[in-house]
């Protein structure tokens, strides 16, 4: 419940995608937030206040007469930890740029003194119109957080930019607006997933890593303020996190090469990937036939990426490793930490692989240990980064 005790206002304007605001409200509530909804008067023609009232259990406001007092725009602005307008129409963007306060939502926006998350949605021509682009630029320069629309088929039948961004990405931007920024000024490289070591065009040796924790770590590195986040991942079903540059690789050798491209540019490296220790000694470019009763695959050691990173660690660079063990978790993790020149290691049992829940320990270079109890992987990623960066500055 990463948003427990947090108050979020979702503003909704008169866009065809207004119904998606219902999903956003639910997603925020699932993370523990208390959500209130403010509508523009015209938005009520798209989704009625009854829907939002039922979803939130809170009052839904669209003008001053709909509130208990005539100063609700001030009280709501004070109440909120985050304020997102999703979808925000071209019309409301223009009003926000010029500080107009002609309805409850725009007045609330003017009374709110922190960055607002703005997720535009509209027809491509409306989005690309110089007026809209200038409004977005001005609002971004003022510090508001713009969640760019996605490309795709729009309700009007046209194709292009203008679809409301994915709810997950809008939620990430809301988290960005709320959380502290201990990673500000840092460039971060994260690896994720289980590498695939092919021995013919379709068959490979791999492991059970889902890449989920690595993707959550990348998402949280962005939320906690990293200037740039590179994610080098083995193939996974996980979505690309918002504002993260993701590169997909197959084998340990490919991962090594990609990691080496960024290594000199980054301040922090988090090696979360489950890199296969061994790879087949031979590769058949033709699919192997099942003619014989037996197939022997000989394996040889893979490149030890973490070890190489530890050897070439530059002054001030922070290197974090992961250790998954079936037994002697702490002892093996401490050995790995020392041998590979790490600043900290996150140790977990192998059961954590492909699970939605993480538990383990963070072991620091100075010998101190911090337990992470079983929690969902998104919360675990936040805890891991927060704990590491409050200790290692
Ligand atoms: C069916 C329909 C769909 C619309 N969809 C959008 C939209 O997705 N984005 C947008 O900016 N305007 C859209 N508009 C135009 C806005 O509703 C119009 O500009 C309105 O004045 C915006 O009011 P508001 O910003 O106060 O909510 C749509 C209009 C209609 C009739």
Residue range 255-283, pLDDT digits in tens: 999 999 999 999 999 999 999 999 999 99
- The pLDDT confidence band at residue 393, using thresholds 50, 70 and 90, is low
* Mean pLDDT along residues 26-30: 97
User: Above 80 in pLDDT, residue 39?
Assistant: yes
Q: Please state which of the ranges 14-28, 73-87, 123-137, 286-300 shows the lowest mean pLDDT.
A: 286-300
Q: Could you read off the pLDDT of 293-305 as tens digits, one per residue? A: 788 999 999 999 9
Per-residue pLDDT averaged across 225-253, rounded?
96
Residue with the smallest CA separation from ligand 1 atom 9 is 122
Q: Which one of 151, 156, 237, 243 is the catalytic residue?
A: 156
Which of 10, 14, 44, 119 maximizes ligand 1 atoms within 8 Å of its Cβ, making it the mutation to test the pocket? 14
**Distance of CA 46 from the midpoint of ligand 1 (Å):** 9
Q: Tell me what the pLDDT averaged over the chain comes to.
A: 93
Phi and psi based region of residue 100 (left: phi greater than 0; alpha: psi -120 to 50; beta: remaining): beta
Spatial contact of 174 and 86, defined as CB atoms under 8 Å apart: no
**What is the distance in A from the centroid of ligand 1 to the CA of 119?**
14
CATH fold match for the domains 7-178 and 187-391: yes
- Domain ranges for the chain: 7-178, 187-391
Rounded to whole angstroms, the Cα distance separating 334 from 330 reads: 6
Tell me the C-alpha to C-alpha distance, in Å, between residue 268 and each of 52, 200, 221, 272, 312. 42, 35, 10, 12, 13
Residue 122, SS3 per DSSP? coil
211: closest CA among 276, 274, 279? 274
* Pairwise CA distance, residues 187 & 185, whole Å: 7
The pLDDT assigned to 391 comes to 84
Top-confidence residue, 63 or 24? 24
Give the integer Cα–Cα distance in Å for 64 and 76: 12
Classify domain 187-391 at the CATH class level: alpha beta
Active site residue 243: no
Pocket of ligand 1 (CB under 6 A): 13-17, 40, 42-43, 89-92, 121-122, 126
Atom of ligand 1 nearest to the CA of 126: 11
Q: Tokens 């007092």 — which residue?
A: 69
User: Among residues of the chain, what percentage have pLDDT more than 90?
Assistant: 83
**Structure letter (DSSP) for residue 30:** H
Atom 26 of ligand 1, nearest CA residue? 40
Class of domain 7-178: alpha beta
Amino acid 70: pLDDT: 84
pLDDT at 231: 98
């Amino acid at each position: 419940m990463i948003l427990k005790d947090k108050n979020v206002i979702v503003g909704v304007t008169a866009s065809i995608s207004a119904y998606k605001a219902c999903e956003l409200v639910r997603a925020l509530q699932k993370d523990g937030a208390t959500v209130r909804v403010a509508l523009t008067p015209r938005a009520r023609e798209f989704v009625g206040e009854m829907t939002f009232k039922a979803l939130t259990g809170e009052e839904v406001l669209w003008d001053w007469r709909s509130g208990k007092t005539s100063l609700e725009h001030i009280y709501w602005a004070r109440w909120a930890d985050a304020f997102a307008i999703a979808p925000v129409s071209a019309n409301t963007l223009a009003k926000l740029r010029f500080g107009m306060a002609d309805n409850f939502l725009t007045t609330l926006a003017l009374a709110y003194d922190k960055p607002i998350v703005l997720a535009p949605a509209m027809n491509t021509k409306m989005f690309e119109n110089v007026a809209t682009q200038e409004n977005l630029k001005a609002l971004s320069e003022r510090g508001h957080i713009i969640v760019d629309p996605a490309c795709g088929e729009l309700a009007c039948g046209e194709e292009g930019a203008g679809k409301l961004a994915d709810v997950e990405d809008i939620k990430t931007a809301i988290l960005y607006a709320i959380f502290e920024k201990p990673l500000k000024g840092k460039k971060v490289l994260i690896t994720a997933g289980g590498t695939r070591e092919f021995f013919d065009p379709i068959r490979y040796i791999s492991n059970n890593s889902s890449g989920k924790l690595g993707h959550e770590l990348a998402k949280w590195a962005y939320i906690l303020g990293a200037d740039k986040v590179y994610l080098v991942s083995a193939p996974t079903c996980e979505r690309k996190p918002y504002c993260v540059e993701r590169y997909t690789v197959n084998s340990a050798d490919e991962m090594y090469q990609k990691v080496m491209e960024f290594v000199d540019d980054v301040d922090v490296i988090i090696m979360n990937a489950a890199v296969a220790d061994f790879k087949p000694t031979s590769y058949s470019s033709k699919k192997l036939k099942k003619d014989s009763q037996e197939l022997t695959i000989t394996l040889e050691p893979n490149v030890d990426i973490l070890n190489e990173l530890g050897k070439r660690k530059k002054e001030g660079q922070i290197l974090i490793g992961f250790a998954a063990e079936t037994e002697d978790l702490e002892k093996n993790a401490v050995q790995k930490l020392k041998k590979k020149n790490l600043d900290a290691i996150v140790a977990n049992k192998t059961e954590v692989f492909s699970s939605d829940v993480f538990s383990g320990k963070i072991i620091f270079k100075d010998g101190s240990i911090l337990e992470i109890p079983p929690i969902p992987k998104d919360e675990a990623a936040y805890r891991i980064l927060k704990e590491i960066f409050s200790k290692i500055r």
